[in-house]
Structure 1
Amino acid sequence: MNKTKAQASSWPNLPSMPSAEGVWKLHCFIRPILVVIPLLGLLLGFGARLAGYGQWAGLIWAGSTVPVLSALLVEIVASLRRGDVGLDIVAALSMTAALVFEEPLAAVVVALMYAGGQYLESFAERRAKREMTALLERVPRTALRYRDGQLEEVGLDVIAPQDRLLIRQGDVVPVDGIVDKGVAVLDQSALTGESLPVQKGADDAVMSGVTNAGAAFDLRVTHRAAESTYAGIIRLIEAAQASKAPMTRLADRFAMAFLALTVVLAGGAWLWTGDPIRALAVLVVATPCPLILAVPVAIVSGVSRAAKAGVLVKGGRALEMLSRVQVLVIDKTGTLTHGEASLSELKPLDDVPAERFLQLAASLEQASKHVMARALVQEAQARGLALLLPSDVAEIPGEGLRGIVDGHDVVVGGVRYVRRQIPGLGTGLDGSRYPVGSVVVAVAIDGRLAGLLVLADRLRSEAAHVIDGLRRLGVNRIVLATGDRSDVAETVTAGLSLDGVHADLTPDRKIGIVQDEKRHGFVMMIGDGVNDAPALAAADLGVAMGAKGAAASAEAADVVLLVDRLDKIPVAIQAARWSRRIALQSVYAGIGLSVLGMIAAAFGYLTPVQGALIQEAIDVAVILNALRALWGPETA
């Protein structure tokens, strides 16, 4: 990881908050107050009338409108400075006109309903973002550091170079460093896409983001936690929350046309009748337009729904594109396959039955923490074999182990390790004849070679179902793009409904495949390794396998799978399409009803107060409709 990239990936101090988050919290604090002020003012004004002090009612209502109008004007100025012109202007015009034309009751009703609508939108967004916030809990925030002869749990932000950390089995290495003590068996698939673990000895470099697949070891820190690959997940969350959707920009274009229509109807009614109250009624009916409420709620709801399923969508643009995908380019290792070892072949070489030598080997492997040992134990358990208790176990980490199982002397490990343990084994012990990428584990029993266990990376069980499901959703072209050998790619994908298989690809050639496929429609690229990151960025929509994938691919992608399952992709596509449909329904229904109300007001059938109540009822209805995107139809 280069310095620039590392600095961009800095892990923020936990107590600090980004400015956007601070603004969000400030709005969450202010909006309830802006609802309470006009509500109390409205009640106090009616109370004053009932008590015989009707002359004070208008002042109370007008005074209660001013705080809402002032806050709205501040937001409008800030929006105009960003170049955004929206229908908040209509709300400000209607409140201002009501005060100028001495319609304080209409003014306070508009203020209450506007503030209430904004608060309802805020509530909807908080409800929709709940699952997004919960995703942060998946990210490790502490590490075990040696200090004064003891271990202390510290935050990642205080870790400094030369600190010594204890990396336990299963831990994700939080910072870059070197092996200080012990042997590290590392799952590097998150960084390289390599499905099988690697072994690191003393003074070997270890990158942050890899998983300790073996016994605990000590790590000497070489870089600060600011360079951790996990910092990228924070930026993904922030991007998902702060992104502005293309549909929202489309709503802004609608808003300009609607604003012009509002001004024409209000001005025309005034000029035609000479009654400014009719113009005021038109303005309040258009306050605020559902365009500024329904689209953000539906988009955030859709993003939240996908997040709840374990799919992190980086905001509205990605959600929009996810609903329009027509072509899929997919990587192999760690994407179509699991990216981890499993038993692919069991080859007995002696008179010992295959199930028996697997049982003895797996029984001995119970004493090891190696990832290969776990694979063998899981395979034996899946076959229903009873595992026996090993004794007198001696292990060389990363190479193999020897012990007594059920009275038999059993040796399990790599070919060279078994040859050293039992010289003169003879022929049959040749692991070079198996496919590139496979790992051959030799098993010797009582001084004789019992067989070989071949471990390889297997195709995901859901792969065929996902591909068929994507085709049903309208993805009409699916191709494989991998850096593996052609024969391996063809073998692994045999039986899958693919339109093409491209192998032996370098990262730049993967980009070429993505660019070429764009002539067939909008392209979604799915990958997990660092070598996939350029292609993910080049695609119309990049999807990264974030559960185990590389940080670089997650940062380059528009969508990140936070669960290691491909079948979440169709779920996310269905959620995106449902959210877009709901947003458009809300916009069209809201605009239609608002226009009808404005016409009625222009012809004098609605007073300003009646118009305000009717329009805000429309706004509440479209917000509630937009919230349907949180649930929607059942997805497969």
Structure 2
Amino acid sequence: MLMQSENSRTQFAIAILAIVAIIVHVTLRFGISAPESWLVVPLWVALVLGGIPLVWDLLIKLLHGEFGSDLLAGISIVTAAWLGEYLAGVLVVLMLSGGQTLESYAVRSASSVLEALSKRMPSVAHRKVGTQVDDVPLTEIGIGDDLIVFPHEVCPIDGTVTDGHGTMDESYLTGEPYMMSKAPGSTVLSGAINGEAALTIRADKLAGDSRYAQIMAVMQSSQQHRPRIRRLGDQLGAIYTPVAVSLAAAAWLISGDPIRFLAVLVVATPCPLLIAIPVAIIGSISLAAKRAIVIRDPTVLEKLDGCRTAIFDKTGTLTYGQPELIGSFVADGLDDHEVLSLVSSVERYSKHPLAEAVIRAGEQQGVASAQATQIVEKPGQGLFGTVAGKAVRITNRKTLLAEQPQLRESLPPPSAGLECVVLVGDVYAATYQFRDAPRREGASFIDHLGPMHKINRVMLLSGDRESEVRYLADQVGVTEIYADKSPEQKVEIVRQETKLADTLFVGDGINDAPALMAATVGIAFGQNSDVTTEAAGAVILDSSLQKVDELMHISRRMRRIALQSAVGGMGLSVIAMFVAAAGYLPPVAGAITQEVIDVLAVVNALRVAVNPGLLSDYESKPPAAGADTPASG
């Protein structure tokens, strides 16, 4: 980033030098009628101080095998100096340096979202040592340090609550639009906004390893990654450059005038390829970010519109990821409301998808909730907590039976949907059964993929039981399903499908990461998993199918405008090249003509960053009759 910044400043300085030299030259010629020997001095200064560094950089690229379209500009600068057409040479210097400066400006403009993230994060934390609280830089916070997060402050680091009860707004990071309750044992994320109560947390990660820092890294990589479509511009330039040089040489040979050689090269300088395509890509990244879509890999913008097979994970993609409690089986001798009260009191401190369903059920049934303490959520073992002196554990059937196989006869038959089992005081208390509702727009979205986006096949790929997967598929209109699949089986299916056609995979769980990487384009919902978002090419922060549709339209729009700018600019340049070859466009006039062409191409490319308004082209409609709908969301 530092080298890019220094190079940007250098290019800007060369562009300013070229402008000043041209102004001084014109003033000396027409303003004060200076001697002829004075007229070339400012132009020579610009060529020596600005032209030589630019040509040197192009030579370095050439030695490294980077035969790009900007080589024409270097040849033009050298030829202009050799033929004594100093003004034309300085105009080419201005075109090349000014174009690179414009690209750097576009990068900075597209980085506004990243800058907003950076400014939002606190630079200091309130470290507590005994009874003393001191403000220290984030870089000095170590793992295990105790920190105070005051009301309405942004949490500075990932950690665990050790003292205090309150809530935090994590929607900026997770996309979930609700406040998360916090108690001793609860995890907190850097970047979350604290609620009304002060919390004491223990730092679990260094600032550079925190969730917020990882999201920053994702945003930075999305802007630094050189996309394949830019290489397409270089490939076009590799064809365009020898054609231009050949035409210039032919004009020289036929006319016997080397000035025509220079005139053709000057007007052929391919700034539409050098600038317009990157500007279109960067503008699309910015547009996507404003719509809560983070482009990690800009090649997504090139590839997405060409995908012909769409593969969806089930939970959280074609469903809301908000299961509803549809059945409860309480052990004999226990009160249903009392058990639900204990469970909902503990679930308030969990991020598990079933937690919200339990809490909503408790609120709907009017059960009282109590303060929970000693909250622990161990991967694979479930959620532990203490409520009113009673130890409560919430886990799954498989884990429970592995530990206490004698309880097999006490459990109800497995349901087609999701379930959890509850133990109070290490004694089986209840089984809760859930069903995740299809997204309201799911059927409409699936229906429109074929006619509007040329998706030939739509598949549902899940690790859930076939009965649950089939139920969802019937609701949203998917006929091709794969159920009971492990992550390894998922990735193999995606690999096989990708051999047949470009694939789009949409998922939101950690076990989706390998499939996201195996697909041509991987899209992740939410920021709930570091692994998933690292594997995906794009991340939908505001989890909805409409955002997927918007991204598909952004991709199509970017390709269309980028090709318009590049091919249109090259076409105008070719016309001007023939005019110059015929002797009707001298070098200076050719340089001015090329500047006009550049402006037209770049202005057209900048259209991608303009908010086009509605980008979705399907209408949401209710799921099929009999489908469940979420109570909220």
Shorter-chain TM band: 0.7 to 0.9
1:277 maps onto 2:259 in alignment: yes
**Aligned position for 2:47:** 65
| CA contact 1:242–1:315 (8 Å) conserved in 2 | no
The runs of 5 or more residues in structure 1 that have no matched partner are 1-20, 192-197, 349-353, 403-410, 417-429, 443-450
Amino acid at match of 1:112: L
Match among 581, 601, 609 for residue 602 of structure 1: 581
Name the counterpart of 1:80: 62
Query: Aligned match of 1:516 in 496, 499, 505?
Result: 496
Determine the C-alpha separation between the residues in 2 that align with 1:266 and 1:465: 56
Mapped to 2, the partners of 1:139 and 1:379 lie a distance apart of 36
Matched position secondary structure for 2:307: coil
CA contact (8 A) 2:329 2:412 kept: no
**Mean Cα deviation higher: 228-237 or 538-547:** 228-237
Match of 1:490 in 2: 470
Matched residue, 1:532: 512
Distance 1:347 1:463, change over 3 A: farther
> Would you say 1:232 and 2:211 are equivalent positions?
no
Relative distance call for 1:596 and 1:346 in structure 2 (3 A) is: same
The answer as to 2:16 corresponding to 1:36 is: yes
Find 2:241's aligned residue among 251, 255, 259: 259
CA distance 1:142–1:335, change in 2 (3 Å): farther
- Answer whether contact 1:327 1:521 (CA < 8 A) is retained: yes
Q: Which runs of 5+ in 2 are unaligned?
A: 174-179, 331-335, 376-384, 396-409, 424-429, 617-633
Asked whether the equivalents of residues 132 and 308 of structure 1 are also in contact (C-alpha less than 8 Å), the reply is no
Verify the 8 A CA contact 2:110 2:283 in the aligned structure 1: yes
Distance (whole Å) between structure 2 residues aligned to residue 529 and residue 287 of structure 1: 48
SS of 2:474's equivalent? coil
Question: Are the equivalent residues in 2 in contact too, given 1:327–1:475 (CA < 8 A)?
Answer: yes
The equivalent residue for 2:32 is 51
Is the 2:345–2:370 contact (alpha carbons within 8 Å) kept by the matching residues of 1?
no
- TM-aligned CA deviation for residue 263 of structure 1: 1.4
Deviates more, 1:155-164 or 1:551-560: 155-164
Work out the CA distance in 2 between the residues paired with 1:367 and 1:76: 64
Q: Distance in 2 between matches of 1:525 and 1:380?
A: 36
Question: Residue type of the partner of 1:552?
Answer: V
Aligned to 2:558: 579
- 1:81-480 equivalences in 2 (<5 Å): 82-135=64-117, 145-151=127-133, 156-165=138-147, 220-221=202-203, 224-344=206-326, 370=349, 394-397=370-373, 432=412, 435=415, 437-438=418-419, 457-471=436-450, 472-480=452-460
Residues 38, 180 of structure 1: alpha-carbon distance in 2 compared, 3 angstrom cutoff? closer
CA distance in 1, matches of 2:361, 2:191: 24
Q: CA deviation at 1:85?
A: 1.6
Evaluate the alpha carbon distance shift between residue 216 and residue 130 of structure 1 in structure 2; reply closer, same or farther with a 3 A threshold.
closer
Corresponding letter in the other structure for 1:517: E
Equivalent residue number for residue 382 of structure 2: none
TM-fit CA distance, 1:491: 2.9
Question: Aligned pair in 2 of structure 1 residues 394, 538: CA closer, same or farther (>3 Å)?
Answer: closer
- How far is the alpha carbon of 1:605 from its aligned partner? 0.9
Over 3 Å counting, the alpha-carbon distance change for 1:507 and 1:380 in structure 2 is closer
For 1:589, the equivalent position in structure 2 comes to: 568
* Alpha-carbon distance in 1 for matches of 2:153, 2:422: 25
Choose from 472, 480, 496 the match for 1:500.
Answer: 480
Task: Give the aligned residue type for 2:579.
Answer: A
- Are 1:109 and 1:612, in contact at CA under 8 Å, matched by a contact in 2? yes
Given that 2:248 and 2:581 are in contact with CA atoms closer than 8 Å, whether structure 1 keeps it comes out as: yes
**Which secondary structure state, in structure 2, belongs to the residue aligned with residue 329 of structure 1?**
strand
| C-alpha distance 189-91 of structure 1, shift in aligned 2 (>3 A) | closer
Distance 1:140 1:440, change over 3 A: farther
Figure out how many residues of one structure are paired with residues of the other and give that number.
Answer: 566
Deviations 1:30-83 (A, max 9, x none): 333222212221121222223131321122222223322123124314433543
Shift, 1:370, TM fit: 4.9
Residue 624 of structure 1: how far off its partner (Å): 0.6
Secondary structure of 1:605's counterpart equals coil
Provide the secondary structure at the position in 1 that maps to 2:460.
Answer: strand
Contact residue 460 and residue 481 of structure 2 kept, 8 A: yes
Distance in 2 separating the partners of 1:529 and 1:170: 30
Report the 3-state secondary structure (helix = DSSP H, G, I; strand = E; otherwise coil) of the residue aligned with 2:142: coil
Going from structure 1 to structure 2, the CA distance change for 1:468 and 1:344 (only over 3 Å counts) comes to farther
Q: Partner amino acid for 2:10? A: I
From 603, 608, 612, the counterpart of 1:629: 608
- Matched-pair contact (CA < 8 Å) for 1:172–1:208: no
Alpha-carbon distance in structure 1 between the residues aligned to 2:370 and 2:211: 36
**Residues 329 and 577 of structure 1: CA distance in aligned 2, closer, same or farther (over 3 Å):** same
Secondary structure of the 2:40 match is helix
1:386-414 Cα shifts (integer Å, max 9, x gaps): x99x8xx7544576979xxxxxxxx9x99
Alpha-carbon offset, residue 278 of structure 1? 0.9
Distance 1:440 1:139, change over 3 A: farther
* Change beyond 3 A, Cα 1:207–1:505: farther
When residues 210 and 331 of structure 1 are mapped into structure 2, their CA distance, relative to the original with a 3 A threshold, is: farther
Paired with 1:314 and 1:625, the residues of 2 have a C-alpha distance of 24
Calculate percent identity across the aligned residue pairs. 33
Amino acid of the residue matched to residue 544 of structure 2?
R
Which amino acid is the alignment partner of residue 337 of structure 1?
Answer: T
Contact 2:183–2:349 under 8 Å retained in 1: no
In structure 1, how many angstroms separate the alpha carbons of the residues matched to 2:294 and 2:112?
13
Shift of 1:94: 1.4
Is the contact made by 1:163 and 1:221 (CA closer than 8 Å) also made in structure 2? yes
Q: Which moved more, 1:524-533 or 1:466-475?
A: 466-475
538, 556, 570: which one pairs with 2:549? 570
- Following superposition, the deviation at residue 175 of structure 1 comes to 6.9
CA RMSD of aligned residues (A): 4.8
Query: Distance in 1 between the 2:465 and 2:166 partners?
Result: 29
Measure how far apart 1:460 and its partner are.
3.1
